[in-house]
Amino acid sequence: FIDNSSALSDEMLALRIGLIPLTTDLKSYVFPEEAKSETDPEAFLNFNMKVTGPKNVYASELHSQDPKIQPAYQKLLITKLLKNQTVELEAKAILGYGRIHMKFAPGLAYYHHTQDVKVKQKNPGEYKEKYPPQIFDSNGNIDAKRINTVQLIDACKSVNPDIIEVKEEKESFIFYIESWGQLEIKEILAQAIKIFQNKLDNFEKQIKKIK
């Protein structure tokens, strides 16, 4: 920080800026441990910012040396400045792994088993108020086709199994990846497979050494 007269301390501003997702070009940059030297231009990217209030300071105020690498969400609010308050800083972006710090994680990955939903009674009678209203048709009967999201299935399966029965199919599952903006979903999956394959190759080499 060169100057910071905002209401936030240097540490808090650094934390907020460090968590801003940046669009990432994996072909042009390398991880720090793969750098040729400490000054290798492929291992880091410089950003700078100089703003004076009164104004809202958004991620778009971070100026990158590489036009391809920008904040994924330009309107992400960093701080608010009053009249004559100033923030001037220089920052360095590097590649990292989510296992080291969550700020490097490119997104959220999760899965759930597919579930077989059977409607045994279309008219739930006294249990109707315990079910989500979205699952009923215009006649007030349960429409199995409307129970089509994880949230609705979860809301239905614990009410009464004699009305709606839900069974998990252990042999199949649905896998989700939600990107936070740094990489496209296909890139996240491809990179994860690449890292996993490298680990398997290293494991195979260690096994051969034991033999």
Residue 54: which residues within 8 A CB-CB, separation 6 or more?
81, 82, 83, 85
- Residues in contact with 8: Cβ distance below 8 Å, sequence separation at least 6, in sequence order: 16, 79
The pLDDT confidence band at residue 92, using thresholds 50, 70 and 90, is very high
Helix (H) or strand (E) holding 115: strand 107-119
Judged against a pLDDT cut of 80, whether residue 199 lies above it is answered with: yes
Tell me, yes or no, if the pTM score tops 0.85. Answer: no
Q: What is the pLDDT of residue 137?
A: 94
% helix / strand / coil in the chain, to the nearest 5?
Answer: 30, 30, 40
Q: What is the pLDDT of residue 14?
A: 96
The mean per-residue pLDDT over the stretch 117-141 comes to 94
